[in-house]
Chain A
Amino acid sequence: DAGITQSPRHKVTETGTPVTLRCHQTENHRYMYWYRQDPGHGLRLIHYSYGVKDTDKGEVSDGYSVSRSKTEDFLLTLESATSSQTSVYFCATASGGNSYNEQFFGPGTRLTVL
């Protein structure tokens, strides 16, 4: 498995505060992704990166921003957290070396916005 860590693993915050989640990988994978998982919705793509400083929006990007200054790190920021952003967030990576794009997942971050 790809070495993917996420921090923090759990976070409770209040509405209106900024929150940054970190994804770190040790596999030198080119592609990185942020998903949110909610009951009844499966996994939905928030943002993704196809290289350092190269990012794009996914299906549910409103209220989120990302940055990737190094290959190994992909940050997800909630500029002003809302209760609707309470969710479990997963980071994933893919090497990009194969056309079929097998993705490897981190352990997740459980975020609660009060």
Chain B
Amino acid sequence: AQSVTQLDSQVPVFEEAPVELRCNYSSSVSVYLFWYVQYPNQGLQLLLKYLSGSTLVESINGFEAEFNKSQTSFHLRKPSVHISDTAEYFCAVSDGSGAGSYQLTFGKGTKLSVIP
């Protein structure tokens, strides 16, 4: 079974500073990787995903994540955060075999707090 580790439960950062949210997953032959964002009192929204091809994927609001197969990591980065980025971020992995229930395994989440 897959497992996902988000190494930091809380990350405070000043506005306009860079941030990295770390995510590691257990190894598999092939995986699909996701970052979801949850704003206060809302459901989860897909932020970005890695399926195949370029190891660097980007979102429309300036986040990017890099798939590193050798380190089994999918860290999320943003060069300059805004107050509106304050949220909880979840890393998730799907077994790429395509069999069964297409389940996602989630990390425990990282709360990003942007300080004015």
Chain A contacts to B: CB under 8 angstroms: 1, 31, 33, 40-45, 48, 50, 56, 58, 90, 92, 94, 96, 99-108
Which partner residue on chain B sits nearest A6 by CB separation?
A: B43
Q: Are B90 and A108 touching (Cβ within 8 A)?
A: no
Q: Does B51 contact A (CB under 8 A)?
A: yes
Interface with A: B57-65, B70-78, B95-103, which one?
B95-103
Q: Does B84 contact A (CB under 8 A)?
A: no
- Report, as a range, how many residues of chain B touch the other chain: 20 to 34
Q: Does B83 contact A (CB under 8 A)?
A: no
CB distance from A66 to the nearest CB of B (A): 13
Q: Which of B43, B44, B103, B107 contacts A101 (CB 8 A)?
A: B103
CB distance from B30 to the nearest CB of A (A): 9
Top 6 nearest A-B pairs by Cβ distance? Answer: A101-B102, A99-B98, A42-B108, A100-B32, A105-B43, A105-B44
Residues of B contacting A50 in the complex (Cβ-Cβ under 8 angstroms): 101
